[in-house]
């Protein structure tokens, strides 16, 4: 009988331990739901307002940029590579990724939305 009590106590301890561990994968999944820094997925939607191929700059009207903690606005971005401007014209709907490099907002990837 005494042994049964010990086993019961162990079973309870084991169950609570298992319960504590079972919460971990949930936290882990939540962590991975956040895009990793430097993720090259096309995060944001916008519309081309102006293309300046000579200066390698692009004016975009964009929605909220969660990775840059920026609300929706129209602003000028530098492009990481002038080739990103190829085929882009005023009025194009785009999906793009922007980051901050040396104090400037830089578009690192962009494509037409449709
Ligand atoms: Cu902005």
CA of 60 to the centre of ligand 1 (A): 8
Which residue from 84, 89, 75 is spatially nearest to 109, judged by alpha carbons? 84
Q: What is the mean pLDDT of residues 24-48?
A: 60
Mean pLDDT of the chain: 80
CA of 64 to the centre of ligand 1 (A): 8
Helix, strand, coil percentages for the chain (3-state, nearest 5): 35, 35, 30
Beta-carbon count within 10 A of 8 CB: 10
Structural fold of domain 44-112: OB fold (Dihydrolipoamide Acetyltransferase, E2P) (2.40.50)
Q: Supply the pTM of this predicted model.
A: 0.64
Res 19 pLDDT > 70: no
CA of 27 to the centre of ligand 1 (A): 31
pLDDT score of 32: 45
């Amino acid at each position: 009988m005494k042994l049964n009590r010990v086993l019961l106590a162990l079973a309870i301890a084991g169950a609570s331990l298992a319960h504590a561990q079972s919460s971990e994968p949930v936290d882990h999944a939540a962590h991975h739901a956040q895009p990793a820094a430097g993720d090259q997925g096309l995060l944001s939607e916008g519309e081309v307002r102006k293309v300046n191929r000579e200066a390698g700059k692009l004016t975009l009207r964009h929605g909220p940029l969660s990775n840059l903690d920026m609300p929706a606005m129209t602003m000028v971005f530098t492009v990481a590579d002038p080739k990103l401007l190829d085929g882009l014209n005023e009025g194009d709907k785009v999906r793009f990724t922007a980051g901050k490099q040396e104090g400037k907002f830089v578009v690192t990837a962009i494509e037409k939305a449709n």
